[in-house]
């Protein structure tokens, strides 16, 4: 690239990665494989419409409706879709229920497979190498770093996501919240509690 312009003049400069994305988008648009409006719509959906509130809705429904919980256990893909949250990549969902005996933790050791339709896009740490490698090797150590120390005797089961199968952790309903409204209960369900690096908030913490 030539640098014959006046360096005192503040002309426009594109970030190298921004230029590469534009180049790819230009080529793909010319080939008729993408269009700008579709790209904008996808960005808007993931920035504003899809997020862990969807997953919290699923969890709260499972807490307050035994028939839904049962459906969620048997066919999570259909049960979740019934609430309007369908995966865009045709992936299957499995709901893994925490119990007094077993705590569930989700990871993707290969890359960053994640249940987008119910949790939005994954947090940075979920995509980073330390979590991806250590969640399997030392789940209790990882949980301790998230401030979660499990009772002795509660086992940890780690679920490794794939492109075809994504997991949603259903945390246990906190004691003392029986009879709460769904809206009130949803505030107790954090994103991390549905990945398994946290549990649902206690009523006094909400």
111 appears as a binding residue in the annotation: yes
Query: Does residue number 203 form part of the binding site for another protein (CB under 8 A)?
Result: no
- CB distance 114 to 126 below 8 Å: yes
Q: What's the min distance (Å) between Cβ of 99 and another protein? A: 24
CA dihedral angle for residue 136, residue 52, residue 124, residue 96, rounded to 10 degrees: 10
| Distance from chain centroid for Cα 152 | 28
113 appears as a binding residue in the annotation: yes
CB-count burial class (<10 Å; 0-12, 13-18, 19+) for 12? exposed
| Distance from chain centroid for Cα 83 | 17
Q: Tell me which of 64, 112, 117, 133 is the catalytic residue.
A: 112
Query: Does residue number 49 form part of the binding site for another protein (CB under 8 A)?
Result: no
Which parts of this chain interact with another protein (CB under 8 A)?
1, 5, 10-28, 31, 33-34, 38-40, 42-43, 46-47, 88-91, 110-113, 120-121, 123-125, 127-131, 133-134, 141-142, 145-147, 162-164, 192, 197
Binding residues for Fe(3+), by number, are 108, 111-113
Which residues have a catalytic role annotated? 108, 111-113
């Amino acid at each position: 690239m030539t640098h014959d312009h006046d360096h005192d003049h503040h002309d426009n400069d594109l970030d190298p990665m921004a230029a590469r994305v534009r180049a790819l988008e230009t080529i793909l648009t010319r080939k008729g494989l993408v269009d700008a409006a579709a790209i904008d719509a996808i960005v808007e959906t993931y920035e504003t419409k899809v997020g862990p509130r969807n997953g919290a809705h699923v969890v709260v429904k499972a807490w307050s409706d035994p028939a839904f919980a049962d459906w969620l256990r048997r066919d999570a893909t259909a049960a979740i879709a019934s609430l309007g949250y369908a995966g865009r990549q045709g992936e299957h969902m499995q709901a893994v229920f925490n119990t007094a005996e077993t705590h569930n933790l989700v990871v993707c050791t290969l890359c960053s497979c994640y249940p987008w339709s119910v949790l939005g896009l994954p947090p940075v740490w979920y995509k980073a190498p330390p979590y991806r490698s250590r969640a399997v090797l030392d789940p209790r150590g990882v949980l301790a770093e998230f401030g979660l120390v499990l009772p002795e005797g509660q086992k940890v089961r780690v679920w490794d996501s794939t492109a075809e199968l994504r997991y949603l952790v259903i945390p246990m309903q906190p004691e003392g919240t029986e009879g709460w409204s769904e809206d009130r209960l949803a505030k107790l369900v954090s994103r991390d509690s549905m990945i398994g690096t946290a549990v649902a908030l206690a009523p006094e913490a909400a």
